Amino acid sequence: MSTASSPIKVIVHGAAGRVGAEVVRAVHGASGMTLAGAVDRIAQADVPPLPDGVPYYTDVRQALEHASPDVIVDFSVASASLPMLPIAIGAGARPVIGTTGFSDEQVSYIDALCREHKLGGVLAPNFAIGAVLLAKLAAIAAPYFDYADIAEEHHEAKIDAPSGTALGLARALHEAHPERFSRNEPEREPLAGTRGGDYEGITIHSGRMPGRMAHHQVTFGGPGQTLTLRHDTIDRQCYMPGVLLAIRKVGELEGLTVGLDKLMGI
């Protein structure tokens, strides 16, 4: 890894994607690191222009060979990350992974790869610092209330419902409130599904339509009061402070750290 005088060398895998392109801009503009390459499977002609002098690769092996990066940031798809990671980690690049969709076994496999090569890695299902704080704040509140609702809203193209973040929030609430939350079950349900999903008594509602990005709201209820906590993602820039934090910290780690909260010390 870099020293005080040498910047951290970073390459971005999935660099032509919506988040990857944002990471390219953020790393290029950040202090203490240098963007040593951008990798994606699509032809360079179809990729928005890269910052001057940043090489583009469609082959990750070539990128690793030419750039010898300290860190590889990955925002692609799990089916592309899984074959890429042993190559990158084997070449000494510490992974900072934003890609979602890994099974528990696959996460353990990535951890084992990092440990085998005595490297750190970071995998964060959500790099938005505000979303991580929402989960922490909600977990603090959970033991004090008997009712909890999660309402999440996303764009119309999202393939899953509820969102992984909403499920993660529900798990965090249940951990902090091990008894099932109270939940009203209607005596009559003229329209099926209207009460939403049920995770240990936590009701989850998912809204999907254009004009939205990613929004999560947790509402707690008790006699005479409610408490509402909400996080809104309105631009993919929201992930960048978390990604830059992970790039700066990954050199101090050994094995795979899962979750940005661990790096934030909360």
Ligand X SMILES: NC(=O)c1ccc[n+]([C@@H]2O[C@H](COP(=O)([O-])OP(=O)(O)OC[C@H]3O[C@@H](n4cnc5c(N)ncnc54)[C@H](O)[C@@H]3O)[C@@H](O)[C@H]2O)c1
Contacting residue, 24, 27, 50, 76, with ligand X by CB under 6 A: 76
Given the residues 9, 154, 174, 205, select the one marked as catalytic: 154
Q: Which is nearer to ligand X, 157 or 191 (CB)?
A: 157
Q: Catalytic residue at 155?
A: no
Contacting residue, 6, 29, 32, 41, with ligand X by CB under 6 A: 41
The span of 118-126, 141-149, 169-177, 250-258 binding ligand X (CB under 6 A) equals 118-126
Indicate the pairing of strand 147-154 with strand 120-123.
unpaired
Q: Quick one: CA dihedral 91, 246, 38, 20, positive or negative?
A: positive
Q: Which is nearer to ligand X, 79 or 184 (CB)?
A: 79
Query: Within 10 Å of residue 196's Cβ, how many Cβ atoms?
Result: 16
Question: Judged by CB under 6 A, does residue 127 bind ligand X?
Answer: yes
Q: Taking CB positions, which residue lies at the least distance from ligand X?
A: 17
- Written as six digits, the tokens of 116 are 């085998």
Contacting residue, 30, 124, 173, 256, with ligand X by CB under 6 A: 124
Question: Judged by CB under 6 A, does residue 14 bind ligand X?
Answer: yes
CA distance 75 to 25: 14
Amino acid making up residue 31 = S
Question: Judged by CB under 6 A, does residue 239 bind ligand X?
Answer: yes
CA distance 258 to 240: 17
Three-state secondary structure call for residue 221: strand
Q: Give 201's DSSP letter.
A: T
Contacting residue, 50, 63, 99, 152, with ligand X by CB under 6 A: 99
Answer yes or no: are the C-beta atoms of 90 and 117 closer than 8 Å: yes
Q: Which of 26, 74, 87, 72 is nearest to 51 (CA)?
A: 26
Binding footprint of ligand X, residue count (CB under 6 A):
25
Question: Judged by CB under 6 A, does residue 44 bind ligand X?
Answer: no
Q: Which is nearer to ligand X, 132 or 173 (CB)?
A: 132
Helix, strand, coil abundance in the chain, percent, nearest 5: 40, 25, 35
Q: Catalytic residue at 158?
A: yes
Question: Judged by CB under 6 A, does residue 203 bind ligand X?
Answer: no
- What residues make contact with ligand X under the rule CB under 6 A? 13-14, 16-20, 39-42, 75-77, 80, 98-101, 124-128, 239
Point out the residues that are catalytic.
154, 158
